[in-house]
Chains A and B, each alone.
Chain A
Amino acid sequence: MLELLKQPWPWYTSGAAIAFIMVLLLVYGKSFGVSSNLRTLCTIAGAGKKVKFFDFDWKTQKWNLLFLLGSILGGVVASTLLKSDEPLQLSAATISDLKGLGIAFDGGLNPSQLFGPDFITSPKGILILLIGGILVGFGARYAGGCTSGHAISGLSNLQIPSLVAVIGFFMGGLIMTHFVLPLIF
């Protein structure tokens, strides 16, 4: 059983499990959405004293912070107990495209060229990861949700605004992938 779980999980298992988690949180009386934790963390850091948007009782969001804590632990479990020894099965076309950008496929989840010690101690590396984070954080709150809140919870509830947000996610992703990344790397 453990050997089976150690292998990379197929997409249908993952998709079904994500839907299960969304339903589980509904049964708990909550709504699945990860990015609101970023707002909560700003509030805990004291942002509510200066900016009204952060002035709310963060304790109502304690459950979501616990969910976030659990997801970090999930990462720990996946990289230890359930660690797979096989390299990621990335498509040959992507490997070749990334090679064209000068980013090597090293078989891991994330390229060491972008997340390894050399890159993250260089000014360019810090700037790229920081700006990427700022775009995600700003965009998620502006759009009122991220992949979990809009693509999963919102679309499951047939919300047209969520569909528009997801179309936006893809527009931004395509622009970054096909037009901006070649300029950066």
Chain B
Amino acid sequence: MKGLKFIIAGLLFGVIMAKSEAISWYRIQEMFRFQSFHMYGIIGTAVVLGVIAVYLIKKFRLRDIQGNVISFQDKDRSWPRYIIGGTIFGLGWALTGACPGPMFVNVGYGYWAMLIVIFGALMGTYLYGLLKDKIPH
């Protein structure tokens, strides 16, 4: 089954996020109050190792399992969407203590209330689709 490897990768992701408490509303509050290194350690380690990994992948032109050279898409160079969209995202992140991945991990963990947050996130995504051409990017 071709899809199994993605389920396993997701399972690993879910276990990591839950076991390192990155799905915790309390930990997100602790982060935004600068009262613990924990979340900064998680994101910082991931980024430092990620930068090294991407550098090596590019340098040695590594290929994916289909045999294609792994390529990276540059993000569009515009500013309003990143700063405004990012800030709106951050407001919701601190309120619910969950970004999109952890929302779903939390549901698996047994926090059914997160289904309301997920429903809201789907509404928000739909709202963006509706307003996309009317807001600055």
Contacts and interface: CB of A to CB of B under 8 A. Distances in A.
Contacts of A34: 99-101, 104
A75 B18 contact: yes
Contacts, number: 488
B21 to A, nearest CB: 6
Which bracket fits the contact residues of A?
35 or more
B90 A176 contact: yes
B132 A53 contact: yes
A132 to B, nearest CB: 4
Main secondary structure of the interface of A (DSSP, over half): helix
A173 B94 CA distance: 5
Interface residues of B, number: 112
Interface in A128-146: 128-144, 146
B32 A174 contact: yes
Main secondary structure of the interface of B (DSSP, over half): helix
B37 interface: yes
Interface string B44-64: 111111110110010000101
B75 A154 contact: yes
Contact of A136 (B35, B50, B82, B93): B93
Contacts of A62: 3
Contact of B17 (A74, A128, A140): A74
A109 B93 contact: no
Given A135-B124, A161-B75, A171 B86 contact: yes
B41 to A, nearest CB: 3
Contacts of B127: 134, 137-138
Interface of B: 3, 5-33, 35-39, 41-51, 53-54, 57, 62, 64-66, 68, 70, 72-79, 81-101, 103-111, 113-114, 116-130, 132, 135
Given A19-B49, A137-B120, A171-B90, A27 B15 contact: no
B20 A11 contact: yes
Given A71-B10, A82-B15, A136-B120, 13 more contacts: A21-B16, A22-B46, A25-B9, A27-B65, A28-B9, A41-B125, A70-B8, A79-B109, A130-B123, A131-B92, A151-B47, A176-B93, A178-B32
Contacts of A157: 54, 72, 74
A155 B51 contact: yes
A168 B25 contact: no
A111 B105 CA distance: 16
Contact of A15 (B31, B45, B97): B45
Nearest to A133: B120
A144 B119 contact: no
